[in-house]
């Protein structure tokens, strides 16, 4: 639109800062610490279009009416600096939830991240409601099975909603972004834990003891991942690989029950009634997503070319939704098989 050309990137913010005498050019105290110096550079870049700044100052309350422009990576404050391969299109810091939520409908580096998980959230909310409303005659043990599916949907819905919320309010302030990033990471652990529940329930239907052991182990590992995610430094760019590793490890803990199942039931039965093909596809998508996330592919090869669309984080988001959907499909087939058998456990079968 033609509107943005005449506007400074940050009307409200610049205004607020200009009230502060320290921020006026020429009045700055000598800068000793590199952090201070970087802050000064940022202020300078925000003040540059001051000529266009509206003169209203002083007692006028700060109103955010979407009057901001995207800014380049180098002028972001440290707490918003996450991926230096995304050169431009970042939202400026906007300490207003209203402004953050309005930015859902604007184009910037987080637009794709927000919408992929917002739509995923709606998808799994609908699937969850449909599953809960399915007539009880389609289940062997309706209450138990709905609780088991409910755990999966709870994990998926929490993960996806924490995620789109985090990406929405990420630019609010350091404190808010830190709080929501912890929720975001905890959500991933909840999704993985929730995914294990129906899979273990149906795959080890006739062997409750290993089922309980595997469920307990994944709960302990998942809670450990959530505890690790509360560590402040966990969210920093330096620990990108650590994060990918923690959630990859949590997901790959499923290799043990998979081996158990395949050895006990045989490869043929594992891939047919055990739905291992679908779970393998789910794992491949999940691992690919974690790999792209950790390595920041494709933007690392073409910095600045994936600022808005197809950056690694968006691809990772899409793969998470797709993997969760494939998992749901596999688990639904397991449920159907159990129903077809009319619940009966045969002599030496796990399933």
Which part of the chain contacts Zn ion (CB under 5 A), choosing from 159-167, 193-201, 303-311, 336-344?
A: 159-167
For the purposes of burial, counting CB atoms within 10 Å of the CB of 239, is it exposed (0-12), middle (13-18) or buried (19 or more)?
A: middle
d(CA 60, CA 102): 22
Residue 313 in marked binding region: yes
Q: How far is the CB of 167 from Zn ion (least distance, A)?
A: 6
Q: How far is the CB of 56 from Zn ion (least distance, A)?
A: 37
Contact flags string 163-192 toward Zn ion, x per CB under 5 A:
x-----------------------------
3 C-beta neighbours (distance < 10 Å), count = 9
Six token digits for residue 242? 């650590």
Radius of gyration of the chain (CA): 25
Q: How far is the CB of 296 from Zn ion (least distance, A)?
A: 13
Q: How far is the CB of 313 from Zn ion (least distance, A)?
A: 6
Which part of the chain contacts Zn ion (CB under 5 A), choosing from 76-84, 155-163, 189-197, 275-283?
A: 155-163
For Zn ion, the closer of residues 163 and 177 by Cβ is 163
277 C-beta neighbours (distance < 10 Å), count = 13
DSSP 44-85: HHHHGGGGGS----TTSPP--SS-B--B-GGGS-GGG---TT
For Zn ion, the closer of residues 111 and 163 by Cβ is 163
What is the CA 50 to chain-centroid distance, rounded? 37
User: Which H or E run contains 129?
Assistant: helix 111-133
For Zn ion, the closer of residues 14 and 169 by Cβ is 169
For Zn ion, the closer of residues 274 and 289 by Cβ is 289
Which part of the chain contacts Zn ion (CB under 5 A), choosing from 1-9, 135-143, 158-166, 265-273?
A: 158-166
Q: Is the link from the previous residue into 317 a cis peptide, with omega within 30 of 0?
A: no
d(CA 102, CA 63): 13
Which part of the chain contacts Zn ion (CB under 5 A), choosing from 74-82, 100-108, 156-164, 320-328?
A: 156-164
The owner of tokens 């456990």 is 345
Q: How far is the CB of 170 from Zn ion (least distance, A)?
A: 9
189 C-beta neighbours (distance < 10 Å), count = 25
Task: Kindly determine how many residues on this chain lie close enough to bind Zn ion according to the rule CB under 5 A.
Answer: 1
Residue 317 in marked binding region: yes
Residue 90 in marked binding region: no
Q: How far is the CB of 113 from Zn ion (least distance, A)?
A: 5
For Zn ion, the closer of residues 163 and 312 by Cβ is 163
Region 61-90 residues binding Zn ion, contact defined as CB under 5 A: none
d(CA 228, CA 222): 10
Six token digits for residue 314? 């968006």
Which part of the chain contacts Zn ion (CB under 5 A), choosing from 13-21, 162-170, 234-242, 291-299?
A: 162-170
d(CA 251, CA 222): 9
Residue ranges that bind Zn ion, judged by CB under 5 A: 163
Binding-site residues, in ranges, read 167, 313, 317
Binding-site residues for Zn(2+), in ranges, read 167, 313, 317
């Amino acid at each position: 639109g033609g509107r943005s050309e005449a506007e400074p990137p940050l009307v409200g913010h610049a205004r607020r800062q200009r009230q502060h005498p320290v921020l006026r050019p020429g009045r700055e105290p000598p800068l000793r610490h590199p952090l201070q110096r970087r802050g000064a550079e940022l202020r300078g870049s925000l003040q540059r279009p001051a000529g266009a700044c509206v003169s209203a100052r002083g007692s006028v309350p700060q109103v955010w009416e979407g009057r901001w422009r995207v800014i380049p990576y180098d002028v972001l404050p440290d707490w918003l600096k996450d991926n230096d391969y995304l050169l431009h299109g970042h939202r400026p810091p906007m300490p207003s939830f209203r402004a953050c939520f309005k930015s859902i409908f604007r184009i910037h580096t987080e637009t794709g991240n927000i919408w992929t998980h917002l739509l995923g959230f709606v998808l799994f909310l609908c699937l969850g409601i449909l599953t809960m409303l399915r007539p009880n005659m389609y289940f062997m043990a309706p209450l138990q099975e709905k609780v088991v599916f409910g755990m999966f949907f709870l994990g998926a819905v929490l993960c996806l909603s924490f995620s789109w919320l985090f990406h929405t309010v990420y630019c609010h302030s350091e404190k808010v972004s830190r709080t929501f990033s912890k929720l975001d990471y905890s959500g991933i652990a909840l999704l993985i834990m929730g995914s294990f529940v129906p899979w273990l329930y149906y795959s080890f239907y006739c062997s409750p003891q290993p089922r309980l052991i595997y469920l307990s182990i994944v709960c302990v590992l998942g809670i450990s991942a959530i505890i690790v995610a509360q560590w402040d430094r966990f969210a920093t760019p330096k620990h990108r690989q650590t994060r990918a590793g923690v959630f990859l490890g949590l997901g790959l803990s499923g290799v043990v029950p998979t081996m158990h199942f395949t050895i006990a039931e045989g490869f043929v039965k594992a891939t047919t009634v055990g739905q291992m093909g679908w779970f393998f596809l789910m794992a491949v998508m999940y691992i690919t997503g974690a790999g792209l996330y950790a390595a920041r592919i494709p933007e690392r090869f073409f910095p600045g070319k994936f600022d808005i669309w197809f950056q690694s984080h968006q691809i990772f988001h899409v793969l998470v939704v797709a993997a969760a959907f494939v998992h749901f499909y596999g688990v639904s087939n397991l449920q159907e098989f159990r129903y077809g058998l009319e619940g009966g456990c045969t002599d030496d079968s796990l399933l």
